[in-house]
């Protein structure tokens, strides 16, 4: 009357739908929490999953409750040691129940709800509503992407795409049409034949019967060979056709100043910004090229590892980086086929006169054909107040102020907590409309 069922192989994630509903509901709070947690994470841990604590108000489930601090009631507790009837026990402060559960004990305040976000959820929330602006140039020239599209049935194909239902249906129809004798019919005949053969001395009628059955069986056998159970004619495969997909080719140039004037703190800020940018691109755009260029008084293209983790120093000539970028772009990324993006981070100090050269390079040569140029100035924390006026700033900043182009943006970062808002500002989805 009892039985066991092994459910271990059942599909997992039954509560995934519930989780998505929960994340959706607490979206704003989670976003804030994710943003906050970004400040506390190191460059390396940026993209890991992690604990999130959100205010529980947004996800509270209120019920009618009796206020514990009202009226009269009695309770019974175990473990009396020296109380006697009529004793008075002073209530603990803050009105908490005697010896009851102390909410603060469990490591989180009463008003917050802590849980873990996976890496994917974390990044999704992180980069929600962000996109590369002005992504327009599409080209079919370099088609690498095909999408497979269903295209009915075919008679040739690989065994993996065999359509069993169609195949069996065809086979069944053909067998009916050709009158293929079934195994059941044959077995019945054979039974009858065996029964007859078991008769010790058969009479003529039985012998005749036997002969006719044998003949019938032979005929059936012949028909069966002639009309097989499954014929190559029956077989159908699901057909797929490749369909070219328009690709938008994009390249992001990351230009970072690693000169001596950039302190450890400034470099860390810049790296965090690029790390965020890199994660964003990886996550949102499947096929995108990222070129890392770092510069001191001369610029060089480096790989991701070197860009984020190596330490090198020297003087500063910003224009070298722009020239290097220009060179690589001319060599590899034709402007009519690629969407070109540039993000530049610097403390804004460069050799005197170089800033003018940068502006000239940008306005005359780059901005006409690139999609977006974002300049991020890394400030000293103390300078933030001094430079609250957008017109005041380091040399490069002041020089860039003269650029007036819808594809150009400049902004400043002084503290880790500035990074995310600035990032959002630069890549907000509706930026285009706002600018227009």
Partner 1 sequence: MSATAKFDTLLYTDSDWNFEKLQRSLDACEDIALNDLGLNIYRNQIEIITSEQMLDAYSSHGMPLMYKHWSFGKHFARDKMMYDKGYSGLAYEIVINSDPCIAYLMEENSMTMQTLVIAHACFGHNHFFKNNYLFRQWTDAESILTYLDFAKKYIAKCEDEFGHAEVEEILDAAHALMDQGVYRYNRPPKLSDSEQLEKIHARAEHERVTFNDIWRTLPLQEETKSEEEQRQTEVRNIKLPEENLLYFIEKASPYLMPWQRELVRIVRNMSQYFYPQKQTKVMNEGCATFTHHYILNELHRRGQISDGSIMEFMHSHSSVVFQPEFDDPRYSGINPYALGFAMMEDVVRICTDPKDEDRDWFPGVAGCGDWRNVLKDAWANFRDESFITQFLSPTVMRHFHMFALADDATKSYYNVDAIHDERGFRQIRDSLSKMYDLGAIEPNIQVVGADLAGDRTLSVQHTVYNGRKLDKKTKEDVVKHLDRLWGYKVKLEEVDA
Residue 105 C-beta: closest distance to partner 1, Å: 8
Q: In terms of CB distance, is 66 or 177 closer to partner 1?
A: 66
Tell me if 198 contacts partner 1 by CB under 8 A.
no
The answer to whether the beta carbons of residues 54 and 113 sit under 8 Å apart is yes
C-alpha to C-alpha distance for 148 and 81, rounded to whole angstroms: 77
Question: Would you give the end-to-end CA distance of the chain in angstroms?
Answer: 74
Residue 40 C-beta: closest distance to partner 1, Å: 18
Residue 290 C-beta: closest distance to partner 1, Å: 34
DSSP reduced 3-state for 68: coil
Residue 45 C-beta: closest distance to partner 1, Å: 18
Tell me if 2 contacts partner 1 by CB under 8 A.
yes
In the list 28, 36, 44, 91, the residue contacting partner 1 (rule: CB under 8 A) is 91
For residue 420, the surrounding DSSP H or E stretch is helix 416-427
Residue 26 C-beta: closest distance to partner 1, Å: 8
Which listed range, 59-67, 161-169, 214-222, 271-279, lies at the site for partner 1 (CB under 8 A)? 59-67
Q: In terms of CB distance, is 77 or 172 closer to partner 1?
A: 77
In the list 28, 40, 60, 218, the residue contacting partner 1 (rule: CB under 8 A) is 60
Q: Which residue bears the tokens 């059955």?
A: 213
For residue 237, the surrounding DSSP H or E stretch is strand 237-244
Q: Which letter does DSSP use for residue 181 in this model?
A: P
Tell me if 229 contacts partner 1 by CB under 8 A.
no
DSSP reduced 3-state for 82: coil
The answer to whether the beta carbons of residues 406 and 373 sit under 8 Å apart is no
Q: In terms of CB distance, is 62 or 152 closer to partner 1?
A: 62
C-alpha to C-alpha distance for 399 and 394, rounded to whole angstroms: 9
Q: In terms of CB distance, is 13 or 232 closer to partner 1?
A: 13
In 3D space, the residue among 320, 319, 296, 292 whose CA is nearest the CA of residue 307 turns out to be 292
The answer to whether the beta carbons of residues 372 and 407 sit under 8 Å apart is yes
Per CB under 8 A, contacts with partner 1 among 13-42 are 13-15, 17-25
Q: In terms of CB distance, is 28 or 172 closer to partner 1?
A: 28
Tell me if 152 contacts partner 1 by CB under 8 A.
no
Per CB under 8 A, contacts with partner 1 among 71-90 are 71-81, 83-90
Which listed range, 7-15, 143-151, 207-215, 302-310, lies at the site for partner 1 (CB under 8 A)? 7-15
Tell me if 285 contacts partner 1 by CB under 8 A.
no
Angle between helical axes of 416-427 and 27-40 (0-180°, round to 10): 130
Tell me if 8 contacts partner 1 by CB under 8 A.
yes
Residue 96 C-beta: closest distance to partner 1, Å: 12
Tell me if 110 contacts partner 1 by CB under 8 A.
no
**DSSP bridge pairs for 343:** 254, 374
Cβ atoms < 10 Å from Cβ of 11: 6
Q: Which two tokens stand for residue 410?
A: 């400049």
In the list 32, 48, 59, 215, the residue contacting partner 1 (rule: CB under 8 A) is 59
H-helix segments, 299-415: 304-309, 318-332, 354-360, 383-386, 395-400
The answer to whether the beta carbons of residues 251 and 288 sit under 8 Å apart is yes
The answer to whether the beta carbons of residues 113 and 22 sit under 8 Å apart is no
Tell me if 179 contacts partner 1 by CB under 8 A.
no
Q: Would you tell me which residues interact with partner 1 (CB under 8 A)?
A: 1-8, 10, 12-15, 17-25, 51, 59-81, 83-91, 98-101, 105-106, 113-116
């Amino acid at each position: 009357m009892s039985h066991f069922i092994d459910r271990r192989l059942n599909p997992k994630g039954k509560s995934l739908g519930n989780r998505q509903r929960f994340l959706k509901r607490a979206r704003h709070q989670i976003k804030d929490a994710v943003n906050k947690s970004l400040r506390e994470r190191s460059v390396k841990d940026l993209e890991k999953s992690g604990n999130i604590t959100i205010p529980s108000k947004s996800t509270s489930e209120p019920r009618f409750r009796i206020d514990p601090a009202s009226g009269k009631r009695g309770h019974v507790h175990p473990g009396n040691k020296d109380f006697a009837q009529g004793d008075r026990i002073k209530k603990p402060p803050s009105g908490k129940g005697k010896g009851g559960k102390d909410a603060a004990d469990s490591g989180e305040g009463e008003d917050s709800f802590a849980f873990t976000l996976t890496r994917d959820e974390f990044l999704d929330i992180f980069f929600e509503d962000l996109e590369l602006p002005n992504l327009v140039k599409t080209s079919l020239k370099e088609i690498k992407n095909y999408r497979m599209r269903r295209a009915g049935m075919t008679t040739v194909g690989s065994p993996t795409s065999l359509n069993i239902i169609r195949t069996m249906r065809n086979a069944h129809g053909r067998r009916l049409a050709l009158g293929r004798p079934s195994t059941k019919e044959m077995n019945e005949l054979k039974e009858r034949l065996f029964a007859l053969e078991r008769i010790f001395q058969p009479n003529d009628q039985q012998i005749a019967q036997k002969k006719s059955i044998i003949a019938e069986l032979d005929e059936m056998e012949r028909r069966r060979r002639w009309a097989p159970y499954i014929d190559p004619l029956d077989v159908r495969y699901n057909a797929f056709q490749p369909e070219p997909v328009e690709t938008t080719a994009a390249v992001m140039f990351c230009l970072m100043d690693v000169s001596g004037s950039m302190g450890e703190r400034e470099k860390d800020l810049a790296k965090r910004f690029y790390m965020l940018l890199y994660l964003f691109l990886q996550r949102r755009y499947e096929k995108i090229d990222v070129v890392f260029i770092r510069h001191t008084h001369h610029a060089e293209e480096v790989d991701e590892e070197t860009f984020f983790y190596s330490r090198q120093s020297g003087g500063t000539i910003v224009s070298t980086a722009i020239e290097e970028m220009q060179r690589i772009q001319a060599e590899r990324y034709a402007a009519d086929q690629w969407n070109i993006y540039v993000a530049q981070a610097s403390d804004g100090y460069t050799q005197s006169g170089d800033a003018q050269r940068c502006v000239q390079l940008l306005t005359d040569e780059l901005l006409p054909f690139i999609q977006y140029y974002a300049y991020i100035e890394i400030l000293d924390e103390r300078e933030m107040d001094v430079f609250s006026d957008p017109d005041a700033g380091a040399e490069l900043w002041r020089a860039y102020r003269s650029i007036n182009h819808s594809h150009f943006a400049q902004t400043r970062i002084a503290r880790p907590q500035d990074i995310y808002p600035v990032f959002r500002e630069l890549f907000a989805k509706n930026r285009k409309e706002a600018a227009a």
